[in-house]
Structure 1
């Protein structure tokens, strides 16, 4: 297939999409929209910018040739940030496929739907309630924060403070469990320490280094072979000191500097009361009238707009030409 035919098929695919379709770049996950489809270029505008950026047909052709020639898919990390929208838009063509896990763009004989296009759904679409503990705890916490002023904690009654502390503790624990699950999946999708951006922030693959000493005899033997006296590296073992306190007249304060600090520990959670209150909140949400739903949607859209204004990522305009050594 010549690129002329590929190009016109791509333009047809783009024109068939709703005008409010949101696209995201494959690596930085920066959202943008198409503002115009022309014979020799596609006009885009990043969500956080008012600048219209033209994407030229010749650059699409260059990227298409590299993708077709690449064995195992074209590595998207070879793209400069400014060129990411080219890959997104090219993936709209059914014969080009983006693999988020491998970070590649490949030609395919099987028509595929791109994962980089988000067609806005109607406000009235049903939303599934996630079966997650953090979801219910977060609803209860939101309710508590709406009924009490968290900026005036000193004025709150003690039972209300206990409720707030309990819910905060539950949300923290369950959110951290979910965060670790999300982190495990993300690790398989992040490539080459390059930041990946979402609407609310960005993440980057990082390596943490930890050390654990090998068995004492092995370590001491190696050090002694290098002329290091074992007495120089031996330290007091707290467990052995505690054992010694049990069979001597020494007290804990003789061998330890002790500092005490007080803190609040969650002692118990009344799951039955939480479930009753949570069901009441869910019933209120389910029976909300249409006007209330529309008001909530407007508030969400206004909040997203404010977040977008505060979220700034670099935008791009052209596809970098390969060096003479690249294929």
Structure 2
């Protein structure tokens, strides 16, 4: 691979939008470009954190093949996939019908051509956890900017601001609920019966919830007949009437109810003071930072906000 071609490939890698990732066509693995050097391009895979060097001489082998024949993407070996993806960034190569092809004379400008299927933009590349963080940060900034005293103040907001408040609240709630459910199983594995776990912001304990629903009418009436209970006592199979019958006779609960027990982690305490102190401490430290370090951090927060605004606008 000559210097001009290699230089162009490095430039295309370095021009990728910050936060965007690349996607392998067969194994469906996400990776990003960490750096480019004179003889290699270093990539990092998101699922493992593994860094892998992609060598210039290996790119040359693939380019030689592409100049005479197409490369079928479906048949790529895992070790070759990232090479093909990186090559697809160059103007002279394109993805056509599940194949990487060489198009040296293409007159389609790279910015006006079809979207590269292996490039995942930053707004879509964020993980669910990153989305929760970003949404919560935006909602917190919005609430702070609006200086709301209570929920009644929402009625005085302009329609566009009220819409943003609703959208962000919904996104944070949905994302937080997914995170809560994902945390439930490992929490339950660490919670023994009647045990309480304590964190910085609150506590949880293991609780068993029992849900019952009447069996079908035929089964219930047969059980009542077997125990000499008049059917009219529960005509229509009213659950509240069944409760009384179960309590007042020798009829077993399981004879007339399908009983289902659900084990879950119940929130039993919240330390709002600790949460507020933590958030205030973070805000104070950011505000007190001066010089390049403080400016860099504030720029990073502004970038996060811009990313979320772009994502919300895209939806």
TM-score category, normalised to shorter length? 0.3 to 0.5
More strand by share: 2
Q: Which has the higher contact order (CA 8 A, sep 6+)?
A: 1
More helix by share: 2
